[in-house]
A and B are shown apart, each in its own frame.
Chain A
Amino acid sequence: MTEQSALTEAYYYILLALYHPLHGYGIMQKVETMSHGRVTLAAGTLYGALNSLMAKGWITALAAEENSRKKLYEITRDGRAVVIAEIARLQELYQNGLALTKGTNR
């Protein structure tokens, strides 16, 4: 895996949502629930993001179920590695922020 820059919120939450396989609409609902309604993914934005994430090899589309055009998506091993790296980056940001501001009001 090459050096990667920070993930957008949308990418990060989509990857997290796909630790269990989901359809497009399921992803939208899960992300909204996880973020307590703060992050809403519009359908066009989600579709573009899913295609980019597939092109990167971070998620994969599972074969559509019988009698259904709905695709199921799931995170890949590479995708999980990206999430782990992002969590480490966020943890560094979080801890440094906390260490420097803790106990002060300004």
Chain B
Amino acid sequence: MKKTSWRLTLSWNYENESKWLNEMSDKGWQLEKPGLFRYTFVQGEPGKYRYDMEYLDANGEKRKEYFAFLEETGIEIVGQLGNWAYYRKPDNGKPFAIFSDTASKIAHYKRILLFLLIITPLEAWFMAKSWVEVYRGTHDASDMAMVILLTLAVVLLASGILHLLRRIATLSKNG
């Protein structure tokens, strides 16, 4: 039996997503295919797999090499969504995580942060441009909707950046 679930996860909250995937696993739903909003699951043995996710910076051949390394250690690459990789491993009673020390966890957060720091100014620029058009009166109703969407996106991205900065600060302090 298969099942489709809808969910929106913000990249900086990805830990909630892997937690959700583990909860689905406990209920007997194993991830088949991740999606931007749409996830498909296959029914199977409850709790069989533990899940984790990673934002990758390696591409092409380097990514293949990395995946081969992970597979050698018993990790299965369930799916990819852009630079996000979804992993799972049969449950052996120990928690499964792709990173085990503070330094590598911080490096991972910084990769996600870098992506946000690149796209946020771009979004902000589009937002500013749209607001200028609104003030000049050269807009119609659809432009107005766009301005509101862009503004929300910028606020959301900014909150994501703050969230990641806090996570990094906490990890650095507690070692």
A and B: partners? yes
Contact B99 A45 (CB under 8 A): yes
Nearest A residue to B74 via CB reads A25
Let me know if A8 is at the binding interface, CB within 8 A.
yes
Contact B73 A24 (CB under 8 A): yes
CA distance A28 to B98 in the complex (A): 13
Contact A25 B101 (CB under 8 A): no
Shortest B154–chain A CB gap in Å is: 31
Contact B98 A43 (CB under 8 A): yes
Contact B99 A24 (CB under 8 A): no
Let me know if B97 is at the binding interface, CB within 8 A.
yes
CA distance A8 to B102 in the complex (A): 11
B-side interface size class: 20 to 34
> Which A residues, 43 to 71, have Cβ-Cβ distances below 8 Å to chain B?
43-49, 69-71
Let me know if A10 is at the binding interface, CB within 8 A.
yes
Kindly list chain B residues whose C-beta atoms are within 8 Å of the C-beta of A10.
Answer: 100-101
Contact B101 A45 (CB under 8 A): yes
Contact A44 B104 (CB under 8 A): yes
Kindly list chain B residues whose C-beta atoms are within 8 Å of the C-beta of A28.
Answer: 73
For the residues of A in contact with B, the DSSP-based class is helix
Shortest A30–chain B CB gap in Å is: 13
Kindly list chain A residues whose C-beta atoms are within 8 Å of the C-beta of B101.
Answer: 8, 10, 42, 45
CA distance A47 to B107 in the complex (A): 13
CA distance A71 to B103 in the complex (A): 24
Instruction: Type the 1/0 row for B91-121, where 1 means its CB is closer than 8 Å to any CB of A.
Output: 0001001111101100110000000000000
CA distance A23 to B68 in the complex (A): 12
Shortest A70–chain B CB gap in Å is: 6
Kindly list chain A residues whose C-beta atoms are within 8 Å of the C-beta of B73.
Answer: 24-25, 28, 43, 46
Kindly list chain B residues whose C-beta atoms are within 8 Å of the C-beta of A25.
Answer: 72-74
> Which B residues, 50 to 79, have Cβ-Cβ distances below 8 Å to chain A?
54, 65-66, 68-70, 72-75
CA distance A91 to B100 in the complex (A): 27
A residues with a Cβ closer than 8 A to B are 8, 10, 23-25, 28, 40-49, 69-71
B residues with a Cβ closer than 8 A to A are 54, 65-66, 68-70, 72-75, 94, 97-101, 103-104, 107-108
A-B pairs with beta carbons under 8 Å apart, 29 shown = A8-B101, A10-B100, A23-B72, A24-B69, A24-B72, A28-B73, A40-B94, A42-B97, A42-B98, A42-B99, A42-B104, A43-B69, A43-B70, A43-B75, A44-B70, A44-B98, A44-B99, A44-B104, A44-B108, A45-B98, A45-B99, A45-B100, A45-B101, A47-B70, A48-B104, A49-B104, A69-B65, A69-B68, A70-B72
